[in-house]
Structures are given as C-alpha cells and as structure tokens.
Amino acid sequence: MKYLFFGLSLILFAGCNKFGHVEFTGTAAGIKSGVFVIKNLRDSTLYGENIKDEKIHATGILPKAGYYTMDITDDADKKSYEVHYEVYLEDGKYTIQTAPDKTYKYPKITSSSKIQNELSAYYMLVDQQSADAHQKAQNMAAEVKKKTNSSSAAQYTVLINKLSAAEDKEAAAGFSAYKQFVKEYPQSSISAHLMSKMDYAGKPVEYYDLYKTFGAEAKNSDEGKEIGEKLGHLVKLVTGAKSPVIVGNTPDGKPFDQSSIKRKIILVDFWRAGNQISRTNHQDMLGMINNIKNNDFGIVSISIDSKADWWTGAVKEDKMTWPQVSDLKGDDSKNAANWAVDKIPTYYLVDGNWNIIERDVQLQEVPLIVSRYLKKH
C-alpha cells in the first residue's frame, strides 16, 4: 500500500488559511511498510506519509488548532485494520512511539501541547483499565461474525449474550478510567470534550456528578455548556422520577388529560407522521394492544408534528386506537424538550401515577418489561 501524499497535501491546503506548521517523527514498532495519515473530524485526509522500516516522518500546515484523527496501518498484516487515535494538534513537533504488536493501545506522544498531553494521559488510563476488556470485546465480535451463519438460533443467542457482556465490561472499565482522569485532572479543559463522546445520557446521575467537578474552562466551553444543559434536564427523567406534564390537544381539539389514562403501565410513544420507523412501529404497537390482553397496559402517542392534517391523517392510516396528543409545535414542541426527546421515535414506560419506569426503551423489549412489571404489581 503506497500513497502519493505530497500532491494530495498541496491540493487540500491550497485553499486553507494557514494556521501553523506541525511535524511528526517517531517509530511505528514492527511496521516495515505502512501508512501514517492525519484526518479531520469529517474523516477527510489532510496529509500523511508512508512508513518505512518503522520510521514515521510527516509534515504539514494545519488549517486550525483542534482535534484530529491519526491513522496507522501496517501493509504486511493482511488482517490489520486502520487504528484511529484521537490527537490534539497545534503548531509544533510531535514525537510518536507505538507499542509493538499492541497497536490497539494509544501510542506515546511527546509534544509541547498541554491539551495533547492531557489527552495522552486520559487514553493511557483507558488502556490501563480497559485495553484487555476492549480486546476481548473485539475478539468476541469477530467470533460472532464468523459463526453467525453456522450457528443455531440458541447458539447465536449465547454468542450475542457473551458479546453484550464483554461490551458491558469494556464500557464499565472505560467509565472507571474517565472518572479517574477527572479526579486527577480537575481543571482539565478537555473533560467536557471527552464526555461529549460518551453515552452520558445512559447514566445521567453519575455523569452529572462528574460534570459538577469540572473546572470553569471545561464547563464554559461550547461542549461543556451543551452537556451541562442536557444533563441538568436528564437527571429529572431517571427511573422513579415524576414524568413531565404532557401538553397539547387530542385530535378532536380537546386538551389532553393525563389523569384519564387508567392503566398500571403506559407506553409513551414520541413519533412524527413523516418518520417511517415510527409508522412501521405503530403496527407492532397494534399487536401489543391485541396480544397483551390486560387492561392494565395502555399506550399514549405524542406527535412531534407541526401540521394537524399530517398528524390526524397518519393516526387514521395507522389505525391508532389509543389516546393521541400533540401541541403541533414540531421541533419546538414542549413535549420533546421536557421529555428530552432528541430522536424519533422515542419510547418511555411510566406507571399509573406517571412516574418513569424506563426512559428511551427499545420497542421490542416492551412486552417483556410490561409482563415482568405487571407480575410484580
């Protein structure tokens, strides 16, 4: 694999405002022939060079200081794949040292950049605590892919469960590493950036506790402000919390009355007439209404539409016999904002007192969750 990066670099940077000169030198241990590439966050190649006899050397002009991706590939290893490392680049020199046969680990990067040094410290913690878990998850994923066609349904279920368990361990180890980083670097400016790439919505209470320990620079960054606002809202939507009030009217123009829903457990469906997944899922929900023969289960659908005829037309087409409501504000819907709906469809399960049972539930999991809940209540 050889690339003529010189010409590509000239083309890409001809129209850019030059920010600063950056130089990479170092060693890609064990790689006799390979490729070193720098990409922007849109995955567009900026520049790079071929690796020869383990030596890395590349130079270029940055369009701006910021986060980029560094890719290293080994030509000799036919089973290899590009390894992507996040880096923070600004004017200066970067010395890189990869670990032999462990390209999945973050390389040692020496530079004068404070942000890059903090980034290296974080990824080193991640490697210390989750590299083995990551490798096991990767191996398990490869095994699932290999055995998918040759496994029975029962065998495939076992494989998927093992993969899920391995991924859970990897996620837990990664979160532990992040907590340690925030503790060791309380004033780090990159804490919010790192959190922005994590599933903080899945553990809002834990992440909000960490967020509150950030220094002013991290909190006041664009990413920090966005995360703070989202987490401040999400912590009010945890299991057991009182759900937000639903605003809007039913299709006949009457205000929606939540107290009129007399059920022990309620599926709250956020949808839009123009969203095909929403519309398809309504057929599954019809099946739930018919198959869960229990008056203790109900559904309320909240449309995030802005045009009444689109909304009511879809309700009729989908044969939705359960309660419907919309404030017809579209993306500006108070319901979407209050329930932290950032994708369509989104589903909640609440109890008869409108306390949250589960947020952002997967529709296919609803029958099992409902069954278990009703057995307990």
Segment 23-43 shows an average pLDDT of: 92
C-alpha distances (whole Å) from 308 to each of 167, 313, 329 are 43, 8, 10
Q: What does the pLDDT read at residue 78?
A: 54
Segment 46-69 shows an average pLDDT of: 92
Strand 45-52 and strand 83-89: the pairing is unpaired
The answer on pLDDT for 52 being more than 80 is: yes
Which residue(s) pair with 24 in the sheet? 58, 94
Yes or no: say if 188 and 114 are a contact pair by the CB < 8 Å rule: no
How many angstroms separate the CA atoms of 114 and 119, rounded?
Answer: 9
Q: What does the pLDDT read at residue 149?
A: 84
Instruction: List b or e across 56-66, with b for residues whose CB sees 16 or more CB atoms inside 10 angstroms.
Output: bebebbbbebe
DSSP H or E run through 343: none
Q: What does the pLDDT read at residue 139?
A: 85
Read off the DSSP letter of residue 31. -
* pLDDT per position as a tens digit, 315-335: 999 999 999 999 999 999 999
* pLDDT per position as a tens digit, 178-229: 999 999 999 999 999 999 999 898 899 999 999 999 999 999 999 999 999 9
Output the pTM of the full model: 0.77
Strand 297-303 and strand 265-271: the pairing is parallel
Yes or no: say if 35 and 77 are a contact pair by the CB < 8 Å rule: no
C-alpha distances (whole Å) from 85 to each of 74, 306, 344 are 15, 43, 32
Share of the chain above pLDDT 70, in %: 93
* pLDDT per position as a tens digit, 149-178: 888 888 888 888 888 888 888 888 889 999
The answer on pLDDT for 2 being more than 80 is: no
Ordered by where they begin, the domains of the chain are 5-110 (2.60.40.10), 121-237 (no CATH), 258-376 (3.40.30.10)
Neighbours of 170 (CB within 10 A): 20
The three-state secondary structure class of 59 is strand
Q: What does the pLDDT read at residue 125?
A: 94
Q: What does the pLDDT read at residue 242?
A: 96
